[in-house]
Amino acid sequence: MKTILCFGDSNTWGYDPASMTAPFPRRHGPEVRWTGVLAKALGAGFRVIEEGQNGRTTVHEDPLNICRKGKDYLPACLESHKPLDLVILMLGTNDLKSTFNVPPGEIAAGAGVLGRMILAGDAGPENRPPQLLLMCPPKVRDLSAMPDLDAKIPHGAARSAEFPRHYKAQAVALKCEYFNSQEIVETSPVDGIHLEASEHLKLGEALAEKVKVLLG
């Protein structure tokens, strides 16, 4: 049995874009989320652990949302779920918020900090490090038609479009595997940030092919 940890934000949690106007966040069903699609495509020899949180950042403390810093939670998460054969890490979209005011390269560097923690740890089989798949987050759509979101994530489309080259550079530096979600999925026109069910399906199936190669 191979065990895979998926560590991410609301697009790993499965936030449904249609709940943008709802009083509270709603999520796609377990079988719809890319993690569920991945688990089904991989089959019985694999266990997929979903660790998504709305608003999770890489290394930044959000003054408006407690306990969102991935760097703080990651060590306990790895310890809790070990031994892990593979960690799929996809974070960075929330780091685009005006609250943090950091450029795309530094956002990718924040993901790299988490990557180094994973690769320097003992959460893998026999207390060795697990494999790491660093995943570039999806591109944010033009949010100009949604003034509140646009103010929260200024220039989100242009800045997130720069993610791939920076995340790939981090993967090269970490000597880990890389996956660019922007080549596979598009965020929803409803809120410009999250994935529709159809995109979860595409992402999960594409990742399954990648994981089969990595874990045999």
Spatial contact of 70 and 114, defined as CB atoms under 8 Å apart: yes
C-alpha to C-alpha distance for 163 and 168, rounded to whole angstroms: 8
Pairing verdict, β 2-8 and 86-90: parallel
What average pLDDT does this structure show over 172-191? 98
C-alpha to C-alpha distance for 88 and 166, rounded to whole angstroms: 17
What residue segments make up the domains of the chain, in order of their start?
2-215
The pLDDT of residue 201 is 98
What average pLDDT does this structure show over 134-144? 97
C-alpha to C-alpha distance for 210 and 216, rounded to whole angstroms: 10
Structure confidence at residue 177 as a pLDDT band (50, 70, 90): very high
Predicted model pTM: 0.97
Structure confidence at residue 216 as a pLDDT band (50, 70, 90): confident
Look at residue 188 and tell me whether its pLDDT is greater than 90: yes
Look at residue 23 and tell me whether its pLDDT is greater than 90: no
Residue pointed to by tokens 């991945």: 38
DSSP state of 15: B
The token pair at 28 is: 């796609």
Look at residue 22 and tell me whether its pLDDT is greater than 90: no
Query: What is the chain's mean pLDDT, rounded?
Result: 97
Q: Class of the 2-215 domain?
A: alpha beta
CA end-to-end distance (rounded Å), the chain: 11
What average pLDDT does this structure show over 30-39? 98
